[in-house]
A = this chain, B = another copy of it.
Amino acid sequence: MKLNKSSLRLYAVTDRAWLGKQKLSEQVDMALRAGATFLQLREKNLDKEAFLQEAGEIKKVADQYKIPFVINDHPEIALACGADGVHVGQQDMEAGNVRALIGENKILGVSVQTVSEALKAEKQGADYLGVGAVFSTSTKLDADKVSLAVLKEICAAVSIPVVAIGGIDSSNLPELAGKGLAGVAVVSAIFGADDILEATANLRRLADEMIGE
């Protein structure tokens, strides 16, 4: 698919840490209904078969809302389930190899933390970058922090769109204004919310405001 940078405005990243009575597909449905604009399925502890089955279920929900859907770390799962693309980190497969594997028509997102990683990822064919952790995060305890000054430098250095990630919630989201972002990626402030609909709608409003400034 072709990526419009405003599709990255409010980028939801799944996390099964808060799965209670609801299924992940139900939580995702709420997030997309309330205004999330992009979806990444992130699974760290599922075996391949269970991951593929889940990816198929979640893709159905994303397709119902026509929301771009990418798989974290696993190009082969992305291809097998027909996702729109894949998102890889610096510890995963090299971006250039992922691009070669998935072809030109899939979306490739890459996590970076420095200007040089950003330029390299862009050169290797990334369609967008994820930069973080911009704030302290409970969902990725090993994540190094990226300062807002470096975030701004990265946005200025590349021509592809950039989303910030890591500990972003309704209280700190406005601090990201003026950095050159296309959007924000959110995990716990959506999927850990008591009311996913209300939390997502509020984050979307804040993200729209933040981008406008």
Chain A residues near B (Cβ < 8 Å): 1-2, 4-7, 29, 32-35, 37, 63-68, 84, 204-205, 208-209, 211-212
Name the prevailing secondary structure of the A interface residues: helix
Number of copies: 2
17 A-B residue pairs with CB within 8 Å: A1-B63, A1-B65, A1-B66, A2-B29, A2-B32, A2-B64, A4-B32, A4-B35, A4-B67, A6-B37, A6-B204, A7-B65, A7-B66, A66-B67, A66-B84, A208-B208, A208-B211
Residue of B1, B5, B65, B68 touching A4 (CB-CB under 8 A): B65
What's the least CB distance linking A182 to chain B, in Å?
11
The distance in angstroms between the C-alpha atoms of A32 and B34, with both chains bound, is: 21
Question: In the bound complex, do residue B64 and residue A66 qualify as a contact, i.e. CB atoms below 8 Å apart?
Answer: no
